[in-house]
Structure 1
Amino acid sequence: MPKSVRVLVLNNYPLDEVWDEVKRGDKPDHHLYGINHLADMGYDVRVVDGTAARRVATLARWLHRLRNPVPLGALARQSAAWQALREGDVIYAPCGEELTSLAYLRALGLLNTPLLALQHHALNQGRLAGLREPWIRLMVRGLDACPALSTRAMQQINQRCPQGRPKSVVLPWGPDAHYYPRAQGPGQGMLAAGRTGRDFVTFALGATQAGVAAHIIGLPGPWLAARSRFSAQVQIRTPEAGRVFGYPEMMGAHLAARAIAIPLDDSQVSLAGLTSLVDAMAIGRPVIMTRNPFIDLDIEAQGIGRWVAPGDVDGWAVALRWFDQNPDAAQAMGARARALVDGPDWNSLAFARRIETLLAGLSRAA
């Protein structure tokens, strides 16, 4: 395959800006979903910017207000990609839903450019799922490849494919192996940080029951109403309005902790917690995590952490107390986690190579 294949990239956040952050050392490169490595491999990577498609963006907002049940994806970016079709040989969406409308066109024979969409979460969920299902099936028919970040998501895609013609495989999403400082010593206290689907209340109550030091870094929200039930050993830090904690700042908190806690709401539909998991692995800290069926990596089987059932305060107390009382074992778990990152499967370069294999196949078939 010639290495001049042009890849148009659509994403739900501005990858060109993230790429600049990665180059400056402000962020690890796994948030680019392989496009920097694709460029290093010789691909002509072009991030699609949909900000100029103002009329389409206005239409999308209008349809959203009407609660349109038909999934459409990001219309402005897809419109920009449509106008740039002559500049691309393949279209890649790290957030698969970005390609929904283009996939409809491909299924109907109105688009010749191959589509690769990465699926993160459940394919069809929530209210009006029955009304959406025919459109979801049309979307899957129009995608040339739809890899997934979990086995459950992969199965949901392949169940909608013709028998014997699956379009999805699992691609493990690991961290940037070169970005993170390495943990030194066992650390102290337990850190819980993150944004999506977090159950900080259960974690804090577990830490209070266990009598261990805990640190929560999270966005303000209803969970703070339970603060009076937390012990003085549970420290809480929330960013000021309009400010976020960057990676360099967050890494200091990770390095200081004994273990990284990832307390989650009871979700059966998303990959919430995956980013925090790979951050902990890369630094070399063990994890305590609410069990999530969309997370493929078995932290207990790998010897890098412990699972807790959703909403289980007692379970959190037991796990937190164990890590507090077993610093050497906790440090060994963290070392095993880092060894996975240094291995052949769980890092951003390995992920990019798998994406490249799929892109190469699509470009040859085009």
Structure 2
Amino acid sequence: MTVYFYHTQDLNYIYREWKAGRFPAHLLYGATHLPDEGIGVVMHKHSKPGSRRIVSALRNAAKVIFCKERFDAVYATKYNGLELLIFLRALGLYRKPIVLWHHQPVVLSKGWLKNMVSRLFYKGIDHMFFFSDHLLEVSLATGKVTRDKAEQCPWGADLVYYDRLMAAHTCERKDFISTGKERRDMPTLLAAFAKCSDQHLDLITAADCCGTNYEEMLSVASIPENVSVTINRTMWIPELAERILPHKCVCICCKETNYTVGLTTLVEALAFGMPVVISKNPNQPFDAEEEGCGITVDYGDTECWVNAIRRISDNPEEASLMGKRARSLAESTYNIANCAHIVANALRKFEK
């Protein structure tokens, strides 16, 4: 069996970097491991997105439809850019199955026309992977998705990559770090560390993301002396991983959302064997506190963040045990090899 692998990012570059050992495989959603499962992969030829959504959809549909290499199904990291192909599949005008990851819950639209179009759209997707059971159940409740065409899949980090990184950079782990950019609650995090002046936080974030200008926000905020701020303009996953490594705990302080915001940071912390302090989000695939690998905190609760920071800093043995449980969870479930195996099993249903 062979699949056509579609990614919204430059997967050709990422794949080359992964082959050279300079990039983790989980950003390719198991495609790197599908050959080990007996499934060949045809890589989508990336090009810069068009300024208009319809232009990208037309271009990507043409690349898939007129691809000269033989493949049995399309496997995609998300539907963005494949909308036209999916509608063609729904109308019976494209014959090959489409399997993809759905990053947010399927929802009911406002108005009967939007719901009708949306139902037609999802008819064109043969199988979907959701990051958590909660996202799956919410989506099933809309009636637009059926259980036989959807499942939860434990997406996780490339343990081989992180093991190699840890072996090459042995160091003492100290201080806290926050590296996220999507829907981060900076005021709560800064207020908590202002009350924990003996604990240092390395805060790394993008200049702006999802409509929030963090650079502007942080330029006028009162930054405690124990917080170092870096506006990230060039670092990607590999560089950020090296920055995370010498720390004792990862902070994932988020605003309330309807999806798994912070999941990439979370699974990478598991791979590093680091405890986490994370906003309690029912959309995540697991509860860090219930799994014993971290502390969950209610949205916007500064005092709970202070207590969590103190608990990590004042109880190094407990924090170390959390880290060991985190790594154990990564090895048993949340790793890219396990993810790829589940993806492969789903893809095989469409083998010809």
Asked if these proteins are the same fold (TM beyond 0.5), I'd say yes
Q: Distance in 1 between matches of 2:125 and 2:292?
A: 37
Q: Distance in 2 between matches of 1:129 and 1:332?
A: 51
Contact 1:120 1:150 survives alignment (8 Å):
no
Question: Could you list the runs of 5+ residues in structure 1 that have no partner in the other structure?
Answer: 65-72
Is the partner of 1:169 in helix, strand or coil? Answer: strand
Matched, 1:94 2:82: no
Is the partner of 1:146 in helix, strand or coil? Answer: strand
Letter in 2 for 1:172: P
Give the equivalent residue in structure 2 for 1:312.
301
Give the equivalent residue in structure 1 for 2:235.
245
Letter in 2 for 1:40: D
Give the share of equivalent positions with the same residue, in percent: 27
Q: For 1:154-169, what aligned pairs fall within 5 Å after superposition?
A: 154-161=136-143, 166-169=148-151
**Alignment CA distance shift 1:167-1:33 (3 Å):** same
**Alignment CA distance shift 1:223-1:163 (3 Å):** closer
Cα RMSD of the aligned pairs, angstroms, is: 2.6
Give the equivalent residue in structure 1 for 2:66.
83
**Alignment CA distance shift 1:150-1:325 (3 Å):** same
**Alignment CA distance shift 1:76-1:153 (3 Å):** farther
Q: Distance in 1 between matches of 2:148 and 2:252?
A: 33
Offset of 1:25 from its aligned partner?
2.0
**Alignment CA distance shift 1:342-1:194 (3 Å):** same
Q: Distance in 1 between matches of 2:280 and 2:301?
A: 11
Give the equivalent residue in structure 2 for 1:69.
none
TM-score of the two chains, using structure 2 as the length reference: 0.88
Matched, 1:39 2:35: yes
Offset of 1:157 from its aligned partner?
3.6
Q: Distance in 2 between matches of 1:317 and 1:226?
A: 23
Q: For 1:213-362, what aligned pairs fall within 5 Å after superposition?
A: 213-220=200-207, 221=214, 222-228=216-222, 230-239=223-232, 243-268=233-258, 270-343=259-332, 345-362=333-350
Contact 2:107 2:142 survives alignment (8 Å):
no
Matched pairs, number: 340
Q: After the TM superposition, list the runs of 4 or more consecutive aligned residues in structure 1 that deviate by more than 3 angstroms.
A: 96-99, 127-132, 159-166, 181-186, 246-249
Letter in 2 for 1:13: Q
Letter in 1 for 2:277: I
Contact 1:280 1:287 survives alignment (8 Å):
yes
Give the equivalent residue in structure 2 for 1:145.
127
Matched, 1:201 2:187: yes
Offset of 1:299 from its aligned partner?
0.4
Question: Could you list the runs of 5+ residues in structure 2 that have no partner in the other structure?
Answer: 208-213
Contact 2:24 2:238 survives alignment (8 Å):
no
Contact 2:132 2:285 survives alignment (8 Å):
yes
Deviations 1:169-215 (A, max 9, x none): 10010111111144978732211112222222211111111222111
Q: Distance in 2 between matches of 1:291 and 1:214?
A: 20
Offset of 1:133 from its aligned partner?
2.4
Deviations 1:289-346 (A, max 9, x none): 1122220211011100011111221121111111111111111100110111222x21
Q: Distance in 1 between matches of 2:116 and 2:146?
A: 20
Letter in 2 for 1:354: I
Deviations 1:265-299 (A, max 9, x none): 2212x221000001111011000011222202110
Q: For 1:12-31, what aligned pairs fall within 5 Å after superposition?
A: 12-31=8-27
Contact 1:10 1:98 survives alignment (8 Å):
no
Offset of 1:233 from its aligned partner?
0.5
**Alignment CA distance shift 1:83-1:341 (3 Å):** same
Q: Distance in 2 between matches of 1:186 and 1:286?
A: 15
Give the equivalent residue in structure 1 for 2:211.
none
**Alignment CA distance shift 1:320-1:83 (3 Å):** same
Letter in 2 for 1:346: Y
Q: Distance in 2 between matches of 1:141 and 1:223?
A: 42
Contact 2:107 2:139 survives alignment (8 Å):
no
Q: Distance in 1 between matches of 2:3 and 2:40?
A: 6
Give the equivalent residue in structure 2 for 1:114.
97
**Alignment CA distance shift 1:259-1:192 (3 Å):** same
